[in-house]
Amino acid sequence: MLSKRLKSVRKNRGLTQEELAKRVKTTKGTISNYENGHSTPSNEMLKDLADALNTTTDYLLGRTENISTDQVEYDLNDPDLQIAFKDASDFSEEARQETINFINYIKQKEKMKGRKPKD
Protein backbone atom coordinates (compact mmCIF):
# COMPACT_ATOMS: atom_id res chain seq x y z
CA MET A 1 0.00 0.00 0.00
CA LEU A 2 2.71 2.48 1.03
CA SER A 3 4.81 1.99 -2.10
CA LYS A 4 1.85 2.40 -4.46
CA ARG A 5 0.46 5.45 -2.67
CA LEU A 6 3.84 7.12 -2.34
CA LYS A 7 4.47 6.83 -6.07
CA SER A 8 0.94 7.92 -6.95
CA VAL A 9 1.00 11.02 -4.73
CA ARG A 10 4.49 11.97 -5.94
CA LYS A 11 3.33 11.82 -9.56
CA ASN A 12 0.08 13.59 -8.69
CA ARG A 13 2.14 16.43 -7.22
CA GLY A 14 4.23 16.58 -10.40
CA LEU A 15 7.50 15.62 -8.70
CA THR A 16 10.28 13.37 -9.92
CA GLN A 17 11.93 10.93 -7.53
CA GLU A 18 14.96 13.20 -7.50
CA GLU A 19 12.90 16.29 -6.60
CA LEU A 20 11.16 14.46 -3.76
CA ALA A 21 14.50 13.11 -2.55
CA LYS A 22 15.90 16.65 -2.34
CA ARG A 23 12.87 17.80 -0.34
CA VAL A 24 13.37 15.07 2.26
CA LYS A 25 17.18 15.13 2.15
CA THR A 26 17.76 11.64 0.79
CA THR A 27 18.65 10.07 -2.56
CA LYS A 28 16.66 9.21 -5.66
CA GLY A 29 17.64 5.57 -5.08
CA THR A 30 16.09 5.60 -1.61
CA ILE A 31 12.82 7.00 -2.99
CA SER A 32 12.90 4.36 -5.74
CA ASN A 33 13.38 1.63 -3.12
CA TYR A 34 10.40 2.91 -1.14
CA GLU A 35 8.22 3.05 -4.27
CA ASN A 36 9.24 -0.44 -5.37
CA GLY A 37 8.69 -1.92 -1.91
CA HIS A 38 12.37 -2.87 -1.50
CA SER A 39 12.64 -0.86 1.71
CA THR A 40 10.37 0.96 4.14
CA PRO A 41 10.93 4.49 5.42
CA SER A 42 11.53 5.12 9.12
CA ASN A 43 8.73 6.81 11.02
CA GLU A 44 10.59 10.12 10.81
CA MET A 45 11.13 9.74 7.04
CA LEU A 46 7.47 8.77 6.58
CA LYS A 47 6.46 12.01 8.30
CA ASP A 48 8.90 13.99 6.14
CA LEU A 49 7.55 12.35 2.97
CA ALA A 50 3.97 13.13 3.95
CA ASP A 51 4.87 16.76 4.69
CA ALA A 52 6.78 17.13 1.40
CA LEU A 53 3.83 15.70 -0.54
CA ASN A 54 1.16 17.68 1.33
CA THR A 55 -0.55 14.50 2.45
CA THR A 56 -0.79 12.53 5.67
CA THR A 57 1.02 9.49 6.98
CA ASP A 58 -2.41 7.90 7.39
CA TYR A 59 -3.06 8.28 3.66
CA LEU A 60 0.33 6.86 2.69
CA LEU A 61 -0.25 3.89 5.03
CA GLY A 62 -3.76 3.24 3.69
CA ARG A 63 -5.58 4.23 6.87
CA THR A 64 -7.65 6.92 5.12
CA GLU A 65 -8.77 7.84 1.62
CA ASN A 66 -8.30 11.58 2.22
CA ILE A 67 -5.17 12.34 0.16
CA SER A 68 -4.65 16.01 0.96
CA THR A 69 -4.11 18.08 4.07
CA ASP A 70 -5.60 21.06 2.21
CA GLN A 71 -9.06 22.22 3.08
CA VAL A 72 -11.54 21.22 0.38
CA GLU A 73 -12.97 24.37 -1.20
CA TYR A 74 -15.19 22.66 -3.74
CA ASP A 75 -18.92 22.29 -3.54
CA LEU A 76 -19.20 18.52 -3.26
CA ASN A 77 -22.97 18.88 -3.51
CA ASP A 78 -22.56 20.08 -7.10
CA PRO A 79 -24.33 17.42 -9.21
CA ASP A 80 -21.80 17.73 -12.04
CA LEU A 81 -18.91 17.05 -9.66
CA GLN A 82 -20.76 14.11 -8.13
CA ILE A 83 -21.26 12.57 -11.58
CA ALA A 84 -17.63 13.19 -12.53
CA PHE A 85 -16.31 11.59 -9.33
CA LYS A 86 -18.65 8.63 -9.71
CA ASP A 87 -17.58 8.09 -13.32
CA ALA A 88 -13.89 8.44 -12.42
CA SER A 89 -14.16 5.74 -9.76
CA ASP A 90 -14.42 3.15 -12.55
CA PHE A 91 -11.30 4.38 -14.38
CA SER A 92 -8.21 2.25 -14.76
CA GLU A 93 -5.11 3.42 -12.85
CA GLU A 94 -3.72 4.80 -16.12
CA ALA A 95 -6.92 6.75 -16.87
CA ARG A 96 -7.02 8.11 -13.32
CA GLN A 97 -3.44 9.35 -13.68
CA GLU A 98 -4.26 10.96 -17.03
CA THR A 99 -7.25 12.68 -15.41
CA ILE A 100 -5.12 13.95 -12.54
CA ASN A 101 -2.49 15.20 -14.99
CA PHE A 102 -5.17 17.01 -16.99
CA ILE A 103 -6.61 18.65 -13.87
CA ASN A 104 -3.12 19.77 -12.85
CA TYR A 105 -2.59 21.16 -16.36
CA ILE A 106 -5.82 23.20 -16.13
CA LYS A 107 -4.85 24.45 -12.65
CA GLN A 108 -1.48 25.63 -13.97
CA LYS A 109 -3.15 27.30 -16.93
CA GLU A 110 -5.51 29.16 -14.58
CA LYS A 111 -2.58 30.24 -12.39
CA MET A 112 -0.77 31.62 -15.44
CA LYS A 113 -3.83 33.72 -16.21
CA GLY A 114 -3.75 34.99 -12.63
CA ARG A 115 -6.97 33.27 -11.68
CA LYS A 116 -7.78 31.27 -8.60
CA PRO A 117 -9.74 28.02 -9.13
CA LYS A 118 -13.01 29.63 -7.96
CA ASP A 119 -12.74 32.78 -10.17
For the ranges 59-68, 78-87, 96-105, the lowest mean pLDDT is seen at: 78-87
What's the average model confidence in pLDDT over 32-55? Answer: 95
In the prediction, which pLDDT does 88 show? 80
In the prediction, which pLDDT does 35 show? 96
Q: Is the pTM of this model over 0.85?
A: no
In the prediction, which pLDDT does 118 show? 52
Average pLDDT over all residues of the chain = 84
Segments of the chain assigned E as strands: none
Residue 104 pLDDT > 70: yes
Domains of the chain plus CATH, in order, are 2-60 (1.10.260.40), 79-112 (no CATH)
Q: Taking the CA atoms of 84, 3, 57 and 118 in sequence, report the sign of the dihedral they define.
A: negative
Cα 49 from Cα 34, distance rounded (Å): 11
